[in-house]
Structures are given as structure tokens and as C-alpha cells.
Amino acid sequence: MRSPHVGQGSNSANVRRFNERLLLQALRRAGEASKADLARLANLTSTAVGSIITSLTENGLIEMSGRRLDGGRGQPASLLRLAPRGAFAIGVRLDRTNIETVLVDFAGRMIGRRSHDMLLPAPPLAQEIVQRDIRELSGLLDKSERNRLAGIGVAQPYNLGSWLSELGLPAEAFRVWNDVDFASDLGRALGLPVFSENDGNAAAIAEIFYGCGRQRDDFLYLFLGAAIGGGIAIDGDCVRGLNGNAGDFAVMPVPPSALPSAHKPAGKWDILLSRASLIALRRHLQYHGEKVDNRADLEACIARGHRAVEEWLDDCIDA
């Protein structure tokens, strides 16, 4: 089994909570692991790991998933994994052209989803939509499971009002989002802990735990949405940078697009998001006469291999 980097643990009693999180992080990246695996990954003694495992098991956060024969003498090693029903969380993604809310279990599996393809409305209406979706999704859990709802994570682009002309979006629709703390307002309304993250970083963190991060500690993640962003993982952790947007590739200077649908920049250079974004793809499909009103229309064009999609991909690669 690969040994993902998860930091250094401590046997001191006053950092037990840190060590518990360290073990849960290691187990989340590994998928399943033995007690010996976890001790090695967290650099903790077997005794310390055993005590933490007992506590996490009693709290319903981890469970045994099977046994593994290592080829040596003795009993097969017991394998542990996260208990899917041990905790639940809500994820909210605010994008310039989409609102999406999901309910996930402790293993990261999606239980329910609500999605709205729409120009991001004013904050009060966005709050109304998200709160309604959260209530509906919470209804998929029974009473005991709702007591294990740990909190809400909100992922959204920084500076929603930036680069609107490049994306072909109306500036007045996003001006009302200036200085709005959507996550704090949501937490006050629902009485749950709410954590906010840049959408590119949030996607990179998910990749650390559920994607290529299980095999690699260092990678660059590209996040393609209405615009384009991303995240940077180094030593198995997301690098946010001074302002939280170290993976903001959207404004990298690139040559102007050769596509006839593309807008022409004022100067010699364009920026990446005007070429490599779903807004640019939608614009090019519409140039070819396709009706693209929502994500389903976009996905249908991609699925049937529309010529305009191939042209746009070639243009993205060239950028």
C-alpha cells in the first residue's frame, strides 16, 4: 500500500484530537488500512494508534472492512475504513451560472444532489434556493443521522464580479455580490458550522482524498467551470497562497483564440479563461447554431462529439 504523506503525529495526550484527525485523514486517503499501516503513516506508536482506533470505533467513525493476509505468520491483519454513516456533510457550490448542493456521507459518497443551471441570482434569492435544497437533502436522513450532520462547506470563485466581460456575463447581476459573506449568512440562518473555500482549492482537496492524491502527493489540478481555476497540492496538502488563490490560472496571458466565435482582445494578449472555459465552449456551440441553455444541453453536445467541441478543445490545448 502506498504511504501518503499526512504529517507527523504526536503521542502527547494534549494533542490527541490532532492525532485522531491525522488518522482519519490517512484512512480517507488510503481507503482502508491496518493498525500497523496507520501507525506507520502517522508516525505514531502502535499503542497510541490502538487507543485512538478504539475511540473512533466507539464513536461510529471507523469500522472493520475485512482482513488481509500479508504472507507471514500469525493472524491476518484487520483492515479498517471510514464508517459511511458515521457523519454527514452538505456541500454547496456557487458558480456564476450554477448553484449546486449535495449531501455526502463520511466516506465521501453522494447521497443526494440538487442543481440549478441559472445566472447566479442576488444573494437573498441564492440563500433561499440553497436553504431549501439543504432542508430537502437533510430530509433524506433519519433523525439519528441528522444528529451526525457535521456542517456545510461552501465553494465559490473568489471575486465573483471579476472578468465578466471576458465571460460575456452582465456586470450588474454580480455587483450586488460585492462584500457579501454568503457562508456566514448561511450559517446564521441554519445554525450549523459553515466553512468557505475557493472552488478551485475545494476541487483540489477532493482530488487529494478521492482522486490522484491517493497515489501522488504533488500535483496541479485544473478546475473547468464557467471560468477556469485550479488548485496546487504539495506534500499531500492544498497550497492556498497568501490570498487563498494560489491556483488561479484564469488570468495567465495567452495568445488570442483563432476560433471565429471568440471575442478579440484589445491588445496583443488574451487571458486563459476567455479561451479555456465552459462559457467559451457554449459561445462556440452557439456560433455553430446549437441551442445551449443549460448544462444538460452542453453535456449532450459533448457526448455526441460535436465538431465544435473538438475545435474548442484544440483551441484550449493551443492556449
User: How do strand 149-156 and strand 88-95 relate by DSSP bridges?
Assistant: parallel
CA distance 155 to 95: 8
Superfamily grouping for domain 86-214: ATPase, nucleotide binding domain (3.30.420.40)
**206-249 tens-digit pLDDT:** 999 999 998 899 999 998 888 888 999 999 899 998 888 888 88
**63-116 tens-digit pLDDT:** 998 887 665 566 788 899 999 999 999 999 999 889 999 999 999 999 999 999
Every domain of the chain with CATH number 3.30.420.40 lies at 86-214
**260-312 tens-digit pLDDT:** 999 888 889 999 988 999 989 999 999 999 999 888 899 999 999 999 999 99
Every domain of the chain with CATH number 1.10.10.10 lies at 13-82
CA distance 317 to 196: 31
**109-148 tens-digit pLDDT:** 999 999 999 999 999 999 999 999 999 999 999 999 999 9
pTM, whole model, 2 decimals?
0.83
Note the pLDDT of residue 70. 63
**149-181 tens-digit pLDDT:** 999 999 998 878 777 777 778 888 888 898 899
Average pLDDT for 177-190: 94
Note the pLDDT of residue 244. 82
CA distance 163 to 261: 18
DSSP 8-state code for residue 244: S
pLDDT for 1 beyond 50 = no
Contact 27, 81 (CB under 8 A): yes
CA distance 116 to 113: 10
CATH of region 13-82, choose from 3.40.50.300, 1.10.3470.10, 1.10.10.10, 3.40.50.360:
1.10.10.10
Q: Tally the C-alpha atoms within 13 A of residue 164's C-alpha that lie toward its C-beta.
A: 16
For residue 128, give the 3-state DSSP assignment.
Answer: helix
Q: At what angle do helices 46-58 and 16-30 cross, to 10 degrees?
A: 80
Note the pLDDT of residue 10. 54
Note the pLDDT of residue 74. 64
CA distance 15 to 1: 27
Note the pLDDT of residue 13. 56
Backbone angles phi, psi at 290, to 5 degrees: -80, 140
User: In sequence order, which residues have a C-beta less than 8 Å from that of residue 213 and are 6 or more positions away?
Assistant: 4, 29, 207, 219, 233, 236
